[in-house]
Amino acid sequence: MTLSETQLQFAVRADGVHLAYRHQPGQGPTLVFLPGYMSDMQGSKAIALSAWAAERGLGMLRLDYSGCGESEGAFEDGTLNIWRDDVLTVVAEMVDGPLILIGSSMGGWLMLLVAEALGDQVKAMVGIAAAPDFTDWDFDEADRGAIASAGRIERPSDYGYEPMVITQRFWQSGQANLRLTRAVAIDCPVRLIHGQRDPDVPWETSVRLAAALRSSDVQTILVKDGDHRLSRDQDIALLIDTVTKLAC
C-alpha cells in the first residue's frame, strides 16, 4: 500500500462530530500518531512515518482532533479531555490490537492520557518534544489573569499558523490533567526524543517525564542541536530508528 492509497475516512463521535483519520492496516502493533497543538495529521513527521510504515507493511493510524485539520468542530471548543476522547473514538473504530503511541509536543501529553485509558493495549510510546503540563509551566501570572478576565489568550506562532489561541476551558482541562506532579502509572517501554535547542518546550521536560513514569524501560534521547519540530532528515531518521526498535 502506498501513502496515496490511504483513504480519508471519518469516525462519528457520539454528538455527531465527524473525526478525520487515515488508516493503513498492517502487521505488528499499529502506530498511532498524535499531533501537537494546532497541528494535524499532515505534518512532515506523520507523513514520513506513514510512508515508512507502508513500505514495511506496518499498520498506522493518523488522525485529526476535532476542530483541527479535516475534522469537524471548532478548534476553540477543544480541550485535553475532548481530544483524548477523540483519539479513543477513532482507535475503538479502527484498531482492536496492540498500539504504539507516538506523540508530538502536546500530543506527547495526550499520549499519556490515552495510554492510561487503554492500559495493556498500548505496547510502547514515543514522545517527540513531549509537552505535558504546559498549561502549568508555560503560563505566568499575567497569562492566568488574562485567561480569567478574557476567557482566552493569543500568542504569536513561529510556525506559520494563525496566532495560537488558548481558551480558559483548554487551560482548565490542562490543570486538571497535570502529570508531572505525581507518578505516571504507565509500565510500557517509553522513548522520549527532545532537542536541546527547543525554544518552546524545555528539554528538561522530557527528563522530568522520564522520572515520573512508573515504567523502568524509559530512555531519554537528547538531540544537542535539535529544535522543537525535529523535522530535519536526521531527526526523522532518528524517529524511525526509535520506532523500528519498538515495533519489530
The pLDDT tens digits for 65-117 are: 999 999 999 999 999 999 999 999 999 999 999 999 999 999 999 999 999 99
Residue 114 or residue 159, greater confidence: 114
| Res 202: pLDDT | 97
Residue 160 has pLDDT above 70, yes or no: no
Residue 76 or residue 163, greater confidence: 76
| Res 161: pLDDT | 64
Integer angstrom CA distances of residue 202 from 94, 227, 245: 34, 10, 26
Global pTM exceeds 0.75: yes
Residue 171 has pLDDT above 50, yes or no: yes
| Res 157: pLDDT | 73
Beta-bridge partner residues of 221: 193
Is 198 part of the annotated catalytic residue set? Answer: yes
Residue 134 has pLDDT above 90, yes or no: yes
For 98-134, give the DSSP string. Answer: -EEEEEETHHHHHHHHHHHHHGGGEEEEEEES--TTH
CATH architecture of the domain 3-133+180-247 equals 3-Layer(aba) Sandwich (3.40)
The pLDDT tens digits for 105-131 are: 999 999 999 999 999 999 999 999 999
Residue 212 has pLDDT above 80, yes or no: yes
State the catalytic residue, choosing from 66, 104, 206, 228: 228
| Res 162: pLDDT | 75
State the catalytic residue, choosing from 105, 133, 173, 235: 105
Question: Taking all residues of the chain, what is their mean pLDDT, rounded to a whole number?
Answer: 95
Percentage of the chain lying above the pLDDT 70 cut: 96
Boundaries of every domain in the chain: 3-133+180-247
Residue 194 has pLDDT above 80, yes or no: yes
State the catalytic residue, choosing from 86, 133, 198, 235: 198
Residue 5 has pLDDT above 60, yes or no: no
| Res 1: pLDDT | 43
Residue 190 has pLDDT above 60, yes or no: yes
Average confidence (pLDDT) over 30-47:
97
| Res 93: pLDDT | 94
